[in-house]
Structure 1
Amino acid sequence: MPELPEVEGVVRALAPIAMGRTICAVTVSDTVIQSKQLGKETIVKGITTEDLASDLVGMSITNVTRRSKYIYFHLLKNGQTCLLVSHLGMTGAWFTVGSVDDIVELKFRKHVHIILTMDDGELLVYSDIRRFGELRLIGCEADHPPLLKMAPEPFVDGACQHFLEMAATPKYARKAIKEVIMDGQVISGCGNIYATEALFKMHMHPARTAERVSIARKKELFQVIVDILQESIDAGGSSISDYRNIDGQAGTMQDRLKMYGRKACSACGTETASLKIAGRTSVYCPSCQK
C-alpha cells in the first residue's frame, strides 16, 4: 500500500500538471457503475457516479496537496470550493496521458476506473487493480470527520509531542509499538514498510508494547521514522509491487530497505521471523530486535 512518501511523490508530480486546468468530462468504468448499483461503495464513496460526474464537470483544479496518505484535489466552480479526496488503497495510481493507451503497463491499462478529461484534451486517469482505493467529493475536511482525526504531518512542530501523548493513552499504551506507529491518528503516513524499517534501525521488537518503550526511546524512534520517510521521498518512494508515479515510473527506495521483505537480516545474517500485528505481517530479526 502506498505510504506517505509514495503519495508525496504523486502529488509533487501531479500538482504542476493539473493546477489551472478545468475538468470538461468525466468517465466512470462500468465496473464501478455496476458495483454502485448493487449498493457497494467501490472507489467512488458517498456519492453516486452520476452526481460525481455532473458535479466535477466545469470544476477547475486550483491545487493538489497531500494530507497523510491522502491526495487532495482543491477544486473551484462558480465561486464555490470543494475537495476531491483520493486514497490509493493498495494498488491505485494516477496517470496523466493523452490516451489510455499511453499507460505503459497492461495491468494498469486494464483497470482504469475514472477518467477526467481536461480542457486541453489531456486525461487525468485513475487506475486501481484491486479497487481498494477511494474517491470522495466533499465541501471541506469537516464533511468527512475521519479526516479531522489524522495526526499532524510528521515533519511539523508538535508532531513528536502528539505521538508521545497518544502513545501514553490507555487506547495505545498496551498495544504493540508497531501497531501504534502505523496508526494514522498517532503518526501520519507511516505504514508497514517504514514502520518495519524504523523498528529495525532502532533494534526494537515490533511486538514490544508502547508502555515498555521509554520516552527517550520514543523520541528517537519518531525521529528515525521522519528520517526514513524523508529518505524515501528523496528516492521517489518504494515500488514494491504496484506503486507507480503519474508517468508510470517506479521509485527506488525498495533498493535501500534493510528489513522489509528480507529473508535474512541485512546486519547479522540471521533468518528473519514474522508475526501478525494489526492484521499486517511484521518481519523482524529475532537476534537484533528485542
Structure 2
Amino acid sequence: MPEFPEATTIAYQLKQYLNIPNNNNSSITLKKINIYKESIIKNIGLIDEIINRDLQEVSNYGKIIYFKFKDDYWILFHLALTGALLIKELIDLNKINYFEKYKIIEFVFNEIRDGNNLKDKIILFTAKRLFEKVIFIKDNNPFKKYGPPFNKLKPIDFINILSKIKKPIKLALMDQSLIAGIGNIYAIEGLFCAKISPLRKACDITVQEYYKLYSCLKEILKESIKNRGSTISDYVDALGEYGNFQNFHKIYNKSKCPQCNNKIKKIKIEERITYYCPDCQK
C-alpha cells in the first residue's frame, strides 16, 4: 500500500507534468472527466461543479494525493492496495494497454499558455482490487479527520502526539488520525533503525528513544523518496515505473537480521504483518 514516499513521488511527477501556471494569461482547467467504474467514486454529483475550474495545486497529505481547484473544490485519491495515477502520454504503449484494463476514471485537462490553447493533458486512475477511492469534495479543510503529516512535524510535536498513547508504538505510528503518512513498511523499518520493539506501548518509550525514532523515520522516508518509493506488489509511479527502495529495506520481508544475523520474527499486530528482531529491538 503506498505510503508517504510513494504518494509524494506521484504527486511531484503530476505537479511537474501539469505545470500549474502563475500568471493571469495562463491556466490549466479540468475540461472533461471520463468515468469507467463508479463503484469507488464518491460524491459523483459534484463533478459538474468541478468541470472547467482552474487547477490550483497538486500535492499529497500523508498517503492521500489531491488535486485542489478554485473555490475549495478537491479531488482526493486513496491508492490503497492497487491504485495508480498515471500520466497517459508519458507511458509506454504496452504498459498503457495493460493499465487500461483496470481503468476507473480519466481526467482531461485543458492548458492555456499566454492565451494559446495547448494539447490536452490526460491523467488516468486505475485500480485492480477496487479497495481504492476517488473522492470529490467541497471543503476548506478536507483533511481534518487526519493528524498532521509526518513531514510537517518537529521532533517535539512527534513526541507530544505519541507519548500519551497506550497502544503498541507500531499501531500508533500507523494511526492516520494521529500522524498522517506512515504505514506498515516504514513503521517496521523505522522501529528497527531505532532499536525499538513494535510491541512496546507508545507511552512507555523514552524521550531519547523518540528522538532517535523521529530521526530514523525522517532519513528513511527521505531515502525512499529519492528512490521513488517501494514496490512490494502493485505500486508504480505516475510514469508506470516501479519504485526502487524495496532493495534497501533492512528488515521488511527479510529472514535474518542484518545486524546480529539472528532470525527475524514475523508476527501479526492487529492483523498487520510485522517484522522485528527480538534481540536488537527492545
CA-based RMSD: 2.2
Aligned equivalent of 2:185, options 193, 212, 215: 193
- CA deviations 1:138-159 (Å, max 9, x no partner) are 22243x4xx2132323233x54
Per-residue deviation, 1:186: 2.7
Unaligned runs of 5+ in 1: 34-41
Going from structure 1 to structure 2, the CA distance change for 1:247 and 1:12 (only over 3 Å counts) comes to same
Query: Are the aligned partners of 2:146 and 2:176 in contact in 1 as well (CA < 8 Å)?
Result: yes
Aligned equivalent of 1:71, options 50, 65, 74: 65
Q: Secondary structure at the match of 1:117?
A: strand
In 1, Cα distance between equivalents of 2:94 and 2:175: 33
In 2, Cα distance between equivalents of 1:55 and 1:88: 24
Per-residue deviation, 1:52: 4.4
Q: Tell which deviates more after alignment, 133-142 or 219-228.
A: 133-142
Per-residue deviation, 1:107: 5.2
Partner of 1:278: 270
Partner of 2:116: none
Query: Are the aligned partners of 2:91 and 2:240 in contact in 1 as well (CA < 8 Å)?
Result: no
In 2, Cα distance between equivalents of 1:21 and 1:102: 25
In 2, Cα distance between equivalents of 1:281 and 1:106: 33
In 2, Cα distance between equivalents of 1:99 and 1:208: 46
Per-residue deviation, 1:100: 9.2
Query: Are the aligned partners of 1:235 and 1:253 in contact in 2 as well (CA < 8 Å)?
Result: yes
- CA deviations 1:175-213 (Å, max 9, x no partner) are 111111111233321111111111111222111111221
Going from structure 1 to structure 2, the CA distance change for 1:101 and 1:114 (only over 3 Å counts) comes to farther
Partner of 1:2: 2
Q: After TM superposition, which residue ranges in structure 1, 4 or more long, deviate above 6 angstroms?
A: none
Q: Secondary structure at the match of 1:7?
A: helix
Query: Are the aligned partners of 1:26 and 1:56 in contact in 2 as well (CA < 8 Å)?
Result: no
In 1, Cα distance between equivalents of 2:269 and 2:98: 30
**Equivalent residue pairs, number:** 267
Partner of 2:176: 184
Unaligned runs of 5+ in 2: 21-26, 111-118
Per-residue deviation, 1:233: 0.9
Partner of 1:56: 50
Partner of 1:118: 109
Matched, 1:96 2:87: yes
Identity among equivalent positions (%) equals 28
Q: Secondary structure at the match of 1:55?
A: helix
In 2, Cα distance between equivalents of 1:139 and 1:215: 40
Aligned equivalent of 2:199, options 197, 207, 226: 207
Q: Which residue identity does 1:114 align to in structure 2?
A: I
In 2, Cα distance between equivalents of 1:99 and 1:59: 24
- CA deviations 1:224-261 (Å, max 9, x no partner) are 11111111111111111111111111111111000011
- CA deviations 1:156-177 (Å, max 9, x no partner) are 3x543333222233xx22x111
TM-score by length of 2: 0.87
TM-score by length of 1: 0.84
Query: Are the aligned partners of 2:88 and 2:96 in contact in 1 as well (CA < 8 Å)?
Result: no
In 2, Cα distance between equivalents of 1:281 and 1:165: 27
1:24-173 correspondence to structure 2 within 5 Å: 24-29=31-36, 32-33=37-38, 42-45=39-42, 47-48=43-44, 51-76=45-70, 80-98=71-89, 102=93, 104=95, 108-119=99-110, 120-142=119-141, 144=142, 147-156=143-152, 158-169=153-164, 172-173=165-166
Q: Which residue identity does 2:108 align to in structure 1?
A: T
Q: Secondary structure at the match of 1:148?
A: coil
In 2, Cα distance between equivalents of 1:62 and 1:121: 17
In 1, Cα distance between equivalents of 2:227 and 2:10: 13
Partner of 1:38: none
